[in-house]
Amino acid sequence: MNKQFDVAIIGGGPAGLSGALTLARGNRTVVVFDDNQPRNAPAAHMMNFPSRDGTPPDEFRRLIREDLKKYSKVEFKSERVNDIKRNELGFMLEGKIQVKKILLAHGVTDILPEIPGIKELFGKAIFHCPYCHGYEYLNEAMGMIGGKEYADHMSVLLKGLSKDLVLFTNGAEVDQYPGIKVYTDKIDSFIYEAEKLKAVKLVTGEVVERSYLFYRPDQKLSTGLGVKLGCELTDMGHYKITDFGLTTQPDVFAAGDDMTVMQSVVFACAAGSKAGAMINFEVLQLINRK
Ligand SMILES: Cc1cc2nc3c(=O)[nH]c(=O)nc-3n(C[C@H](O)[C@H](O)[C@H](O)COP(=O)(O)OP(=O)(O)OC[C@H]3O[C@@H](n4cnc5c(N)ncnc54)[C@H](O)[C@@H]3O)c2cc1C
């Protein structure tokens, strides 16, 4: 006998857990799958979330799961979902769990380049978002790594945190930016000690002392499940959604980093909650029709 739920949530990060909370409060049966690879795991603290500024990321998730304990209709599975098939009742997951609706809240995976030291420093001294990290290093020696499009935007934004700002283009040609020294040579490696950045070493052998850097890695959806279900993507590679999180496939919703470039915990929670409310409404419409 297959197990049945109203909704399956793929991903138990801020988006998925917030969706679960809203659905639980709508009295829906929910199964949350999570294989525990949160995007912000490299960072010791989660910043810029009202009332939780500075909370460790795993503690934040634990607190939401604690809230969810009150709701007996929410079940957790610490497993990766690899297979979802549409059928006449909705969707079958892994050939054994039947649901009416899907919430894709699986997030994205950052793709770091093969530069020695970057994996060790990402989330510790190399950051992607100045609202998440940066204030802690106010006025220290800062750098940004990127081409023209990135530098046009970040040269404005980062000046708010430190005037001591340089640009590493890692081989790309760019314009000049007033007050910002530009290094166009490729980066050889990062010099660091105990997760603290000391300097950037260029292939020419030049060493540029810096305390922290900003860099936006490429990213990809953390699973191909939505694409297999036929969900269309934006030019940026995220799910195309309506205002309420419905993808281009009926009954398949998305929330969190997988549907926006505005990627932060507070946005993910809001999107999860909004999608949860819409899914609840649609499930109730189905039930009331019978
Ligand atoms: C280094 C770093 C630091 C950051 N710091 C901050 C910060 O300080 N403040 C802030 O607001 N934002 C921060 N962010 C951004 C923040 O991490 C994301 O915006 C947020 O985590 C998005 O939540 P989400 O639920 O969409 O995805 P995630 O938090 O990535 O959660 C997705 C979950 O889905 C699971 N999953 C994926 N595929 C499957 C599958 N097939 N089956 C089951 N489970 C699956 C993953 O294992 C993961 O647990 C940071 C990001 C990075 C990279």
Cβ(110) to ligand 1 under 6 A? yes
Given a cut of 70, whether residue 1 has pLDDT beyond it is no
How many domains are there within the chain? 2
Cβ(146) to ligand 1 under 6 A? no
Q: Cβ atoms within 10 A of the Cβ of 153, count?
A: 13
Which of 39, 77, 241, when mutated, tests ligand 1's pocket best, judged by the most ligand atoms within 8 Å of its CB?
A: 39
Cβ(11) to ligand 1 under 6 A? yes
Estimate the share of the chain in helix, then strand, then coil, as percent rounded to the nearest 5: 25, 30, 45
Residues 40 and 171 in one domain: no
Cβ(42) to ligand 1 under 6 A? yes
Given a cut of 70, whether residue 10 has pLDDT beyond it is yes
Given a cut of 80, whether residue 229 has pLDDT beyond it is yes
Q: Which residue among 215, 250, 273 closes a domain?
A: 215
Which of 40, 127, 261, when mutated, tests ligand 1's pocket best, judged by the most ligand atoms within 8 Å of its CB?
A: 40
Cα angle: 20, vertex 244, 51; to 5 degrees: 55
Cα–ligand 1 centroid distance for 195 (angstroms): 21
> Could you give the percent of the chain with pLDDT greater than 70?
100
Residue that is written with structure tokens 């020695």 in the block: 116
Cβ(12) to ligand 1 under 6 A? yes
Q: Which atom, in ligand 1's list, is nearest to the CA of 14?
A: 25
Q: What is the pLDDT of residues 104-157, one digit of tens each?
A: 999 999 999 999 999 999 999 999 999 999 999 999 999 999 999 999 999 999
pLDDT the model gives residue 175: 84
- Of the pLDDT bands very low, low, confident and very high (cuts 50, 70, 90), residue 2 is confident
Q: Is 128 exposed, middle or buried (0-12, 13-18, 19+ CB in 10 A)?
A: middle
Residues 42 and 88 in one domain: yes
Residue-averaged pLDDT of the chain? 97
Cβ(174) to ligand 1 under 6 A? no
Residues 105 and 117 in one domain: no
Given a cut of 90, whether residue 252 has pLDDT beyond it is yes
Which residue type sits at 16?
Answer: G
Q: Cβ atoms within 10 A of the Cβ of 43, count?
A: 17
Residues 94 and 178 in one domain: no
Cβ(100) to ligand 1 under 6 A? no
The distance from CA 216 to its chain's CA centroid, rounded to whole angstroms, is 12
- Of the pLDDT bands very low, low, confident and very high (cuts 50, 70, 90), residue 231 is very high
Quick one: which of 89, 81, 60, 66 has its CA closest to 10?
81
- Of the pLDDT bands very low, low, confident and very high (cuts 50, 70, 90), residue 290 is confident
User: What DSSP element (H or E) covers 63?
Assistant: helix 57-68
Residues 207 and 235 in one domain: no
- The CATH number of the domain holding residue 63 is 3.50.50.60
Residues 230 and 206 in one domain: no
Q: Which residue among 188, 215, 242 closes a domain?
A: 215
Residue 253 β-bridge partners: 103, 246
> Could you give the percent of the chain with pLDDT greater than 90?
98
pLDDT the model gives residue 289: 84
The whole-number average pLDDT for the span 154-167 is 95
Q: What is the pLDDT of residues 26-46, one digit of tens each?
A: 999 999 999 999 999 999 999
Residues 152 and 207 in one domain: yes
Q: Which residue among 156, 190, 215 closes a domain?
A: 215
Nearest CA to ligand 1 atom 33: 11
Q: Find the domain containing 118 and state its range.
A: 113-215
> What are the DSSP E strand ranges found in the chain?
3-10, 30-33, 74-77, 84-87, 90-93, 97-104, 108-111, 126-127, 142-145, 165-168, 181-183, 187-193, 196-202, 207-209, 212-215, 218-221, 252-254
Residues 206 and 66 in one domain: no
Which of 59, 61, 132, 213, when mutated, tests ligand 1's pocket best, judged by the most ligand atoms within 8 Å of its CB?
A: 132
Tell me how far apart the alpha carbons of residues 84 and 94 are, in angstroms, rounded to a whole number: 6
Residues 60 and 29 in one domain: yes
Q: Cβ atoms within 10 A of the Cβ of 231, count?
A: 23
Phi (first) and psi of residue 210, to 5 degrees: -150, 150
Residues 136 and 196 in one domain: yes
